Amino acid sequence: MHRELVQISSELIKALDNAKHVVVFTGAGVSAESGVSTFRDALSGLWARFDPMQLATPEAFLADPELVWGWYEWRRQLLLKAQPNSAHQAIVKLAEQVPKLTVITQNVDDLHERAGSGEVLHLHGSIFKPRCFNCAKPYTLAEPPAMTHEQALPPPLCPDCQGMIRPGVVWFGEALPQAEMEAAFTAAENCDVLLSIGTSGVVQPAAQIPQLALRSGAWVAHINPEPVDCQHPRELSLVGAAGHILPLLLTD
Ligand code: BJW
C-alpha cells in the first residue's frame, strides 16, 4: 500500500482490496490534465467564458445554430488533439486489478476509450456521434475545419430530410440515454466501491449516482483538487488531481 495513501485512508484501500465490483464515475476533471477545459472551474472552465443556456440547450441551437455548431466543432477539434492522461490510464490498470469495473462518464470525449477502457457508459452522449436534429439519423462528420478560435459555422444538413445536424450530446432539459442511465444506476446500486472523479456533482440526474452507491452500502471516494463535503461514514474526499491520486490506488 502506498504510504501517502495510508495517511489518506487505509479503510478505502481495504474496501478496494475486497471489492468485487468497482464503479468509476467521472466528470470533466478527469480530462483536465489532458488539457480539456472543465465547465465550472472559476477561471479556466468553459462556463466562465460562455453562458450554458446560450450554448447547451436545444432552444439555443435553434435560435443560433451557427454559434452552437461552431462552438462544438471547435471543441471537437481540440479533443481530437488531446491525449489520455495518467488518470485515464490508472483506471485501465485498476480494471485489471479488481474482478469487475464499470466506467460511467459524464464526458462527451473518448479519452477513456482511447486509454483502453472497454465499455464506457456515456451519460451525456458523445461529441463524436452527431445526428439529425429532425429525424435523429446518425451523421458521419468529416475532419473539423482548422480553427484557431471559436467561430460561427453552419451545421451540415441531413442527406435524408435536410434537417440540421446537431452534436450527439445531452443538452439541458433533454433526457439522458435510457439504457446507459439504467446500466449506470444498476452498477451504482451493486458496487462495493465507487470512485467519483473530477465532477462538481451539480448536474442531475447524474449527480445522484454517488449517493445511490452510498445508500446501497458501498464506499464512496471523491477525487478532486477541491475538498468535497462528506456527510457519510463511508464517504471520503481525496484532495488532489486525478492524475496524481488515482495511480496511488493501484496495487504496486
Ligand atoms: C479536477 C481536476 C483534476 C478540475 N482532477 N478533478 C433537479 C434539480 C435541479 C435541476 C434539475 C434537476 N433535474 C434536472 C435538472 C435540470 C438540469 C440540471 O441538472 N441543472 C442543474 C445544473 C441545476 N439537468 C438536465 O437538464 C438533464 N436532463 C434532465 O434532467 O432531463 C429530464 C428529462 C426527462 C425526460 C424527458 C425530458 C427531460 C440533462 C443534463 C445535461 C448536461 N449536459 C452538459 C453539457 C453536455 C454537452 C457539452 O459537453 O457541451 O454536460 S452540462 C455539463 O455539466 C456537461 C457535464 O457532463 C456536466 C457535469 O459537469 P462536470 O463534469 O461535473 O464538470 P464541472 O466543470 O462542473 O466540474 C469539474 C470538476 O473537476 C470540478 O469539481 C473541479 O474541481 C474538478 N477538477 N481539475 C480531478 N485535475
Domain extents for the chain? 1-36+84-126+176-252, 37-81+131-166
Q: Which CATH architecture has domain 37-81+131-166?
A: 2-Layer Sandwich (3.30)
For the stretch 163-185, pLDDT in tens is 999 999 999 999 999 999 999 99
Task: Let me know if 124 is a catalytic residue.
Answer: yes
Find the mean pLDDT for residues 207-225.
98
Find the mean pLDDT for residues 202-226.
98
pLDDT at 109 exceeding the cut of 90: yes
More confident residue, 200 or 41: 200
Q: Which of 204, 224, 226 to mutate to test the pocket of ligand 1 (most atoms within 8 A of CB)?
A: 204
- Entry pTM: 0.96
Rounded Cα gap, residues 245 and 229, in angstroms? 18
pLDDT-above-70 percentage for the chain: 97
Nearest CA to ligand 1 atom 78: 29
Determine contact, residues 69/153, Cβ cutoff 8 Å: yes
Find the mean pLDDT for residues 113-129.
97
Maximum mean pLDDT: which of 6-20, 44-58, 135-149, 188-202: 188-202
Nearest CA to ligand 1 atom 15: 204
More confident residue, 51 or 208: 208
Determine contact, residues 50/71, Cβ cutoff 8 Å: yes
Index of the ligand 1 atom closest to the CA of residue 169: 47
* Cβ of residue 204 lying under 6 Å from some atom of ligand 1: yes
Report which of 211, 188, 242, 193 is spatially closest to residue 13, judged by C-alpha positions.
193
* Cβ of residue 177 lying under 6 Å from some atom of ligand 1: no
Confidence of residue 1 (pLDDT cuts 50, 70, 90): very low
For the stretch 45-74, pLDDT in tens is 888 888 888 899 999 999 999 999 999 999
Q: Is the peptide bond before 205 cis (omega within 30 degrees of 0)?
A: yes
Could you tell me the end-to-end alpha-carbon distance of the chain, in angstroms, rounded to an integer? 7
* Cβ of residue 169 lying under 6 Å from some atom of ligand 1: yes
Index of the ligand 1 atom closest to the CA of residue 33: 80
**Residue positions counted in the chain:** 252
According to the model, what pLDDT value does residue 251 have?
87
Catalytic residue among 124, 222, 232, 244: 124
CA angle, corner 97, sides to 109 and 123, nearest 5? 25
Q: Class assignment of domain 1-36+84-126+176-252?
A: alpha beta
According to the model, what pLDDT value does residue 7 have?
53
Nearest CA to ligand 1 atom 22: 203
* Cβ of residue 226 lying under 6 Å from some atom of ligand 1: yes
Q: Which residues of 190-202 are buried (b: 16+ CB within 10 A; e: fewer)?
A: bbbbbbbbbbbbe
According to the model, what pLDDT value does residue 242 have?
98
* Cβ of residue 38 lying under 6 Å from some atom of ligand 1: yes
According to the model, what pLDDT value does residue 3 have?
44
* Cβ of residue 69 lying under 6 Å from some atom of ligand 1: no
